[in-house]
Structure 1
Amino acid sequence: MDELLCEPLHFKASFLALAPACSRLVAELLETHSTAARLALAGRLMLALSLLREDLPHPLTDAEREALTADQPPAAVSEDFMPEPDILCDYCRTLTEILLSRTQTVPGEKVVAGLLFELVNYLADTLTAPRFYRSPEAYDGSVAGAENE
Structure 2
Amino acid sequence: MANADSNTFARPEIEPAITTLLKAPLGNHLDLFEILDSCQFHIDALIENDNNTECMALCGRLLAALEMLKVTLNAPLPTHLIKRLTVDVATDDNYRCPLSTDSETMRQYCAALTMLLLQRQQSAEQKQQVTGLLFELVNVLIEDLKTPRFVRTDSGLVMMSGEAVPGIH
Same fold per superposition (TM over 0.5): yes
Residue 80 of structure 2 aligns with an amino acid whose one-letter code is A
> 5+ unaligned residues in a row in structure 1: which ranges?
none
Which stretch shows the higher mean deviation, 30-39 or 16-25? 16-25
The equivalent residue for 1:89 is: 107
Per the alignment, in what secondary structure is the counterpart of residue 133 of structure 1? strand
Which stretch shows the higher mean deviation, 2-11 or 88-97? 2-11
**1:58 positional shift:** 1.1
Say whether the 8 Å CA contact 1:22–1:48 is kept in structure 2: yes
The equivalent residue for 2:12 is: none
Q: TM-score with structure 2 length normalisation?
A: 0.77
Pairs within 5 Å for 1:33-112: 33-76=50-93, 77=95, 80-112=98-130
Instruction: Rate the CA distance shift 1:62–1:2 in 2: closer, same or farther, 3 A.
Output: same
1:23-58: CA deviation from partner (whole Å, max 9, x where unpaired): 111011000111111011000100000001111011
Count of aligned pairs between the two proteins: 144
Residue 22 of structure 1 aligns with an amino acid whose one-letter code is C
Say whether the 8 Å CA contact 1:23–1:121 is kept in structure 2: yes
- Radius of gyration: which is bigger? 2
The equivalent residue for 1:125 is: 143
Q: Which runs of 4+ in 1 moved over 3 A?
A: 74-80
Name which structure has the greater RCO, CA cutoff 8 Å, separation 6+. 1
**Aligned alpha-carbon RMSD (Å):** 1.9
**1:105 positional shift:** 0.6
Q: TM-score with structure 1 length normalisation?
A: 0.87
Identity %: 31
**1:144 positional shift:** 2.9
> 5+ unaligned residues in a row in structure 2: which ranges?
1-17, 162-168
The equivalent residue for 2:25 is: 8
